[in-house]
Structure 1
Amino acid sequence: MISVISQRSSLTFLVITVLTFLAASSAPTPLYQVYQDNLHFSAAMLTAIFGVYALSLLAALLTVGSLSDYLGRKPVIFAALLLNIVAMLLFINADSTVYLLAARALQGFATGTATAVLSATLLDTDRVRGPMLNSLAPMLGMASGGLGSGLLVEYAPRPTQLIYFILLGLMMLQAVYVWRLSETVSRIPGALKSLAPTLHVPSQARRALWLAMPLNVAVWALGGFFSSLAPSLVRVATGSTSHLIGGGLVAVVTLSGAVMIYSLRNRAADKVMRLSAVLMAIGVSLLLVAVQTASLWLFFVASVIAGFGFGGGFMGSVRSIVGLALPHERAGLMSAFYVLSYLAFCVPALVAGNLSRVFGLVVTTDGYAAVLILLAVGALGGQLWQGSARSRAAA
């Protein structure tokens, strides 16, 4: 039994560790322009460097996502920290795109491993606050990583290394401290068998999952765009060369998402999804206006509104499906959900990066935004139709 004091300490450590992993994941975003200027690579290579992270994260979710159920939480958290420590060392020494690709691939696998085990450990440690912390901590982590990296790049020395040295130090301390945690699960046989990639969506949750997908795809595709191409877009559209812009946009979107999650945490999932679809469509539409008018302030206003849709759409999608699975079906359902989500996170951004070589970044953004708006409007229509069907059934 975990004491109150040790439970509080454990929660604090776990939240800080989640923040560190997600901060590291968004730290390269403000540096992409620096890397492009120094290493002279294209927007397509930039999205490849971004995309390999998401694909590696997917691979981790599919293979080692449930490993901690068999080996225990602490060894898997420790292994994820070690992998990310090596990734930070690769970033620190990166002098070519090969280093950047390797660093992002390793970082993606480490983050995917950590996402699964840290989420489970938070729920093990506190069933009441765990779900909320699981939703808020990643958002706050991405915001702090993007904004903190942008500030260091703009005002501190050694812009391509300092943020990684700071993260490296935090991870080394966490790798030592993790062994002080109380283990929350017992070791059981079957670890090797659990590595086989599997996806399972319970039959009773399939309809809700597909109804949630249009909005969820729009949400994650928006996140992928802001994490990869948005800093370059601001530079092209407005001429701004500040490295704070890229990190600032990521911070604005994720912090707005966190505000939305906390504010609507007690609202029904269908109402949250309807509101989020509207906010997503409005925010992305304003983003198009910002591009055409080269308005930097409107970029940030649009990012706030789109961020509300981002956070609410994510929370509403999860809540609309997770209650439909039996306890032994939840892991499979959430694995399927996150696989679809991370495919939406990386594939559209990779396609956009390649299309930008042919059509230019502004025209590509117009098309990307149009697809997001159509998905949001389609999601709103689906939710309204579902609500109407429920009303007719009740009558």
Structure 2
Amino acid sequence: MVAAPESIKNSSPMGFHALTLAVFFGASAAPTPLYRIYQESFAVSPILITVIFAVYAFALLGALLIAGSISDHLGRRPVIFGALILEIIAMALFSIASGPEWLIAARIVQGIATGIAGASLGAALVDIDRARGQIVNSIAPLSGMAIGAIGTSALIQYGPEPLHLVYALLLAAFAVQAVALWLTRETGGTRPGVFGSLKPAISIPQPVKRPLSLVTPINIANWTLGGFYLSLVPSLVASTTGSHAPLTGGAVVAALMLSGAVSVFLRRSRSPKANLAFGVSAQTLGILTVVAGVHLANVPLLLIGTLLTGAGFGTNFLGSIGTIMPLAKPEERAGLLSAFYIQSYLAFSLPAILAGFLVRSIGYGATTDIYATAIVLISLAGLMAVRNTRAPCVHSDAQRTL
């Protein structure tokens, strides 16, 4: 084997790991602009589309809970490499999919791969630089999903083979990253106890229980919103505005994630309580604007509303994490984060399935009205609870931990 150049071996892997994390989450958003095409090509109902979306979230959550700390024992690079191989398999399954059962299988494998990669790449980034790593862990997934949504939409609209091209390109990208990974230095170490680490550790420390209960309504509303966008919004845009251009629906989804990433970066030094107040306000205004855009069939209004909604989405997540994580001891944070992710990903997936049933029964417009009303009321109730409590809201770097 040809020796790798010393400059590559000795360079910081921060950029490589950040890019890899972004590509994983970009791939997770790639099917979103294709859901409408899958509906037409495979005669898939809105309910089944949301199930295909939800199994990814369940698989990702399971991977986080079971294998989230496995890289602490086996080292970062071997675990990241395993996740890349699984993701390559998922891209291959998407490429040869001929029906919904193939899509479900691909999303399950992709969810497992992304969960393992998210935990191990996130840990590697913090290994390299704690402060910068935490910021990258917050921004890279949102940025990746924005690029994945808009990039896939552009390939569908202007490229050949819309059901295959994006997955072929992503498969090639992951293959290159799997090779390049071994040219970067190992950031972690190894230690015994790998089998014991596979037992999910979920716990909520006593000092965190009340703060977590206070931010729970905001967090549930936030992730319900994210699940609705990533599962149904491209079809919603086509149905209500009459614009069937893939770039239109993709741009709306990308706007949510991109503005979320920007808001995380701009408000990273603000207190959690201030972030929650800003986040709920921006999200409420944005959702009302989105509803107006839906009923007026106005795409620019939809985009403006989504940018406001995304700013609230990112800031609410930042404020929720910042409220609870600093109150836990270092040895308690993994279990607390697991509990937080269970809550978040259940809110991300289960309401999306309900949305699929509602769309089939009452249509996209009425479903949007119901979801918008529920999200606004729940998040405002959560904000009132946070404002009325005298419990301290600690501010530290831990608020940016993912």
Q: Same fold (TM over 0.5)?
A: yes
| Residue equivalent to 1:189 | 192
SS state of the match for residue 128, structure 1?
helix
On the 8 A contact 2:83/2:117 being kept in 1, the answer is yes
RMSD: 1.7
Q: Distance in 2 between matches of 1:100 and 1:318?
A: 32
| Residue equivalent to 1:362 | 365
- The change in CA–CA distance for 1:337 and 1:92 in structure 2 (over 3 A counts) is same
- Matching of residue 322 in structure 1 with residue 331 in structure 2: no
On the 8 A contact 2:8/2:184 being kept in 1, the answer is no
Query: Deviations for 1:270-296, whole angstroms, at most 9, x for unmatched residues?
Result: 101111011111111112111221111
Query: Deviations for 1:218-238, whole angstroms, at most 9, x for unmatched residues?
Result: 111111111011111111111
| Residue equivalent to 2:35 | 32
Q: Distance in 2 between matches of 1:292 and 1:286?
A: 10
Among 109, 133, 137, the residue aligned to 2:136: 133
Among 205, 210, 214, the residue aligned to 2:213: 210
| Residue equivalent to 2:259 | 256
Among 82, 85, 89, the residue aligned to 1:86: 89
CA drift at 1:363: 1.5
CA drift at 1:180: 2.5
Structure 2 alignment gaps of length 5 or more: 1-5, 394-402
| Residue equivalent to 2:177 | 174
Among 219, 228, 231, the residue aligned to 1:228: 231
On the 8 A contact 2:95/2:167 being kept in 1, the answer is yes
On the 8 A contact 1:277/1:379 being kept in 2, the answer is no
Q: Distance in 1 between matches of 2:392 and 2:322?
A: 18
Q: Distance in 1 between matches of 2:189 and 2:241?
A: 56
Q: Which moved more, 1:306-315 or 1:186-195?
A: 186-195
Among 264, 267, 272, the residue aligned to 1:269: 272
CA drift at 1:390: 6.4
SS state of the match for residue 22, structure 1?
helix
On the 8 A contact 1:215/1:313 being kept in 2, the answer is yes
Q: How do residues 143-182 of structure 1 correspond to structure 2 at under 5 angstroms?
A: 143-182=146-185
Q: Distance in 1 between matches of 2:392 and 2:191?
A: 44
On the 8 A contact 1:30/1:245 being kept in 2, the answer is no
Q: Which amino acid aligns with 1:130?
A: G
Query: Deviations for 1:58-110, whole angstroms, at most 9, x for unmatched residues?
Result: 11011001111111111110111000000000111111111111111110111
TM-score (norm 1): 0.95
Q: How do residues 335-374 of structure 1 correspond to structure 2 at under 5 angstroms?
A: 335-374=338-377
Query: Deviations for 1:174-195, whole angstroms, at most 9, x for unmatched residues?
Result: 1112223322333222111211
Q: Distance in 1 between matches of 2:66 and 2:333?
A: 16
Structure 1 alignment gaps of length 5 or more: none
On the 8 A contact 2:52/2:103 being kept in 1, the answer is yes
Q: Distance in 1 between matches of 2:64 and 2:357?
A: 26
Q: Distance in 1 between matches of 2:379 and 2:287?
A: 10
Q: Distance in 2 between matches of 1:355 and 1:98?
A: 22
| Residue equivalent to 1:112 | 115
TM-score (norm 2): 0.93
CA drift at 1:360: 2.1
On the 8 A contact 1:287/1:298 being kept in 2, the answer is yes
On the 8 A contact 2:39/2:45 being kept in 1, the answer is yes
Among 115, 124, 127, the residue aligned to 2:127: 124
Percent of paired sites with the same residue: 44
CA drift at 1:383: 2.2
Q: Distance in 2 between matches of 1:71 and 1:246?
A: 41
Among 65, 69, 83, the residue aligned to 2:68: 65
- The change in CA–CA distance for 1:8 and 1:287 in structure 2 (over 3 A counts) is farther
Q: Which amino acid aligns with 2:16?
A: F
- The change in CA–CA distance for 1:375 and 1:335 in structure 2 (over 3 A counts) is same
Query: Deviations for 1:191-234, whole angstroms, at most 9, x for unmatched residues?
Result: 11211223111111111111111111111111111101111111
Q: Which amino acid aligns with 1:278?
A: S
SS state of the match for residue 115, structure 1?
helix
- The change in CA–CA distance for 1:179 and 1:385 in structure 2 (over 3 A counts) is same
Q: Which amino acid aligns with 1:268?
A: S
Q: Which amino acid aligns with 2:189?
A: S
- The change in CA–CA distance for 1:34 and 1:251 in structure 2 (over 3 A counts) is same
Q: Which moved more, 1:376-385 or 1:94-103?
A: 376-385
- The change in CA–CA distance for 1:21 and 1:7 in structure 2 (over 3 A counts) is farther
| Residue equivalent to 1:287 | 290
CA drift at 1:4: 10
SS state of the match for residue 187, structure 1?
coil
CA drift at 1:244: 0.8
SS state of the match for residue 342, structure 2?
helix
